[in-house]
Structure 1
Amino acid sequence: MKRRGSTDSVPDDGSFEPGDEETAKRTRTAEDGVSTVQHSIIVDLPIAAVYKQWVDFESYPEFLPAVREVKLTGEVYSRWTVAISKLSRQFLVEILEQLPEERLVWRTIEGDVWFSGDATFDAIDKQQTRVDVTVHWKPVSAMERTAAALGLAGRVVRGTLEAFKTYIESTGGPSGHSRIKVVSPKG
């Protein structure tokens, strides 16, 4: 079933080339101050398992130390608390589009940070799945702008994907914490 929403996306200018799972694709800052990061990883599990784990947001604190808590607050909304060192942030995320086992698009709609992103899922074969993630975020504080200028967002996205891969491959499949039913906010 197709779920649709709209997102602001960065046009593909041809610089996004598929590569191995260790290669960050591209990090750049647009004129409006939005930083864009793209990264891919290969997970050694079938697409159904990988996708199901990806949308199990409440399990993220188990494999991402910076994610302290995720609470579902509605069919397409979740409240996140993240902390890095002494800096803690809270934000509400809205799912804009869901194509099961193909694509998930999200954005923040309130909170301490502004970002949007999408993840696409492609079956390489019956036992391997490629996950491509693009994140757009707008640094607000001086520390965030410095992090964007240094390309630290790319390391965060790469580290997140590597932690996801390690977690799901070590558990053998989705953890099943959340009973998430993502539907379009437009019906």
Structure 2
Amino acid sequence: MRLFTRVALGAIATMTALFQISDAQAAAALTLRIEAQGSGYNRPDPTNNFFFTTPVYSAAFAVSLDPTDDPNLFVRIIQDTTYVVTFSQTGLTLSTSYFGSRLATQANAGTCYGGGPVAGQAVYNPSCGTLSANVSFGGPPISFFEGGITRVLVEDGDTLDGRQVEYLTNLVPEPATWALMLTGFALTGYALRRRRVAFA
């Protein structure tokens, strides 16, 4: 009877430890979100028309990451694409390794921050960061973007609802871009009007 009790208690202790390890690993997963403003393009029909593109002015990239043995290294593997995020004393870097011909989103980024890789404890300095991203299948990109990072978020767990990776582009210029464009149009109109008056 004592032997049976010891075996049962040992099994319960082992199962409890395994569940605790599993919970700790699940809690250690992260989701990285990066927003940026810059320039790029989308190709609506890459197979028939490689030259027609629609301009984009901002992009948002997000990926859910699994922890590794290194507490500062997080990885996500999706078919032929591997996303690696590394945290260091000076900031974080995102790199993509792509091997294959399937449609995939690739992104590379880096930004400065102070703090750690735990959500809510990192204070980022987006002004020193850049994001470059493209969607391709081994040939010319369907979508391409490059610009300066405006926001970085590190969230606990997988907050993408199982989608693993997310990439969005904005076809509408940001308010600052609109202001710059309108100022340019106004100055151009003023210069043309002065030129007409001078010739009259």
- TM-score between the two structures when normalised by the length of structure 1: 0.31
Q: Which protein has the bigger strand share?
A: 2
- TM-score between the two structures when normalised by the length of structure 2: 0.29
Q: Which has the larger radius of gyration?
A: 2
Higher RCO structure, 1 or 2 (CA under 8 Å, sep 6+): 1
